[in-house]
Chains A and B, each alone.
Chain A
């Protein structure tokens, strides 16, 4: 069975002033893929990831997602970002919200927005209907906000249960450990039912003893078939969990392959020397 293409990056470039950070990166991510991106620091792997959901505006190239080019400034990026989860190195949980609110904020806000715009549309349809013989049907508003909220909370609690943090639902981010924060951040991304989740060095800011708990959650996700793009320094994770490893060096993809081939038989000299340093 042909796997569906989720994300297709073509010739992506990024410049900061005179510095060319990305020099044309091509990457196709298929459904269920776990792509690990490794490389020396400053090679542009984080920048690449941040360009994919336009946290950094790409300077050139295209990013096809859901039939639209995200690199095109005219595309409404907010709609697509709802379907592209992101997990940050510094967790970036919303400090002023409880763990539960962190997870439910986006689903509830988005539902509220959609509802509001539908109501606005209905208002104009009603007015134009006054002058028409065959009435235009009104949009279905769907669930009420309180219903959406209750469902979002229920789903958040379910997700928290899967990572064993349901008793922390009312806690604030500052009251939980780094590993717990990162697990909550993953769940926050999951709450939007994304098609792909981007991980930007998710374990780099963690104490060594907490790395395992976060990697376990990511492994479970990968096993459940989630599409993931992971920038990481955890070679063990790249080797065990990913089905493709990409080595980025100096703004280009220097080598890519299946993990066994990639780690067992690195072709380029640059990768060989990199691996000898980190393994």
Chain B
């Protein structure tokens, strides 16, 4: 069992495939999260905006629908629709599913991050916004330069959590023919149909990645805390 795995992994250069899988997984999770943070911040700011005027009210409704849509359907379904329905419908052909996965993960994560970010923005003292407005800065400038940076600091642990969720969730991209971590390990077992070692190693690899990320988030948190308190 062990020997077979070693043979597949090293002698037959299975590790190249695995490294590619790690790369695809990281790409999807990292870029997905970045897109998610941008979308989430925009939605969160729209949702906490004062609603005196018509435009913010309309935008707010759109955001509510967006969140309902992306939180209300499984990500697998979103991937499948994106790759097998929307791409052909738009007449786009792609070499690999990775860009599609990145976009879907970003859109999906944006819905979740928006709620995280909203709670982060609401956790920042209202006085910060008032002080910004009182010196003559606009709502947008104060949000961008004062409130959101403090909000991000507050929600960093939760964002780390979201990143971990995304990393693990990437195991579904094999549905759209992307070779991620899961697929690359599965292929190691395919010749013999013995998946014991590949799947145990798969679990270990995910675990190591997640632990590394939690450690990195902790470091980042400590560093951001230093600027304050």
- Please give the residue numbers on chain A whose beta carbons come within 8 Å of chain B beta carbons, in ascending order: 53, 55, 78-86, 88, 90, 92-97, 105-106, 109-110, 172-174, 185, 188-189, 192
Contact = CB atoms under 8 A, between A and B. Distances in A.
A109 B141 contact: yes
B146 A81 contact: no
A105 B136 contact: no
B146 A94 contact: yes
B190 interface: no
Interface of B: 125, 127-128, 130-138, 141, 145-146, 149-150, 153, 227-229
A55 B134 contact: yes
A96 B153 contact: yes
Contact of A88 (B127, B136, B138, B149): B127
Q: Of A84, A95, A173, which is in contact with the most chain B CB atoms at under 10 Å from its CB?
A: A95
A85 B136 CA distance: 9
8 contacts: A92-B131, A94-B128, A95-B150, A109-B137, A174-B228, A185-B131, A188-B135, A189-B135
A94 B138 CA distance: 15
A89 to B, nearest CB: 9
A88 B135 contact: no
Contacts of B138: 78
Contact of A81 (B128, B134, B153, B227): B134
A90 B136 contact: no
A55 B153 CA distance: 26
Contact of A86 (B125, B128, B134, B137): B134
Contact of B150 (A78, A83, A96): A96
A110 B136 contact: yes
Contacts of A84: 134
Contact of A82 (B125, B127, B136): B136
Contacts, number: 70
Nearest to B131: A92
B135 A192 contact: yes
Contacts of A55: 130, 133-134
Q: Which 6 pairs from chain A and chain B are nearest by CB? A: A82-B136, A92-B131, A92-B127, A86-B134, A106-B135, A81-B136
B145 A105 contact: yes
A167 to B, nearest CB: 18
Given A78-B138, A92-B125, A189-B135, A172 B130 contact: no
B135 A82 contact: yes
Given A92-B125, A96-B149, A174 B135 contact: no
Contacts of A109: 137, 141, 145
A88 B130 contact: yes
A92 B137 CA distance: 14
A53 B133 CA distance: 9
A93 B146 CA distance: 10
Contacts of B149: 96
Contacts of B131: 86, 88, 92-94, 185
Contacts of B150: 95-96
Contacts of A83: 136
B228 A92 contact: no
Residue with the highest number of chain B CB atoms closer than 10 Å, among A79, A81, A84 = A81
Contacts of A94: 128, 131-132, 146
A94 B135 CA distance: 12
A192 B136 contact: yes
B1 to A, nearest CB: 54
B220 to A, nearest CB: 15
A15 B125 CA distance: 24
Q: Quick one: which of B125, B134, B228 has the most chain A CB within 10 A?
A: B134
Nearest to A53: B134
B133 to A, nearest CB: 7
A197 to B, nearest CB: 10
Given A81-B134, A92-B127, A94-B132, 9 more contacts: A82-B136, A88-B130, A92-B128, A96-B150, A96-B228, A105-B135, A110-B136, A174-B229, A192-B136
B224 to A, nearest CB: 9
Contacts of A105: 135, 137, 145
A50 B132 CA distance: 14
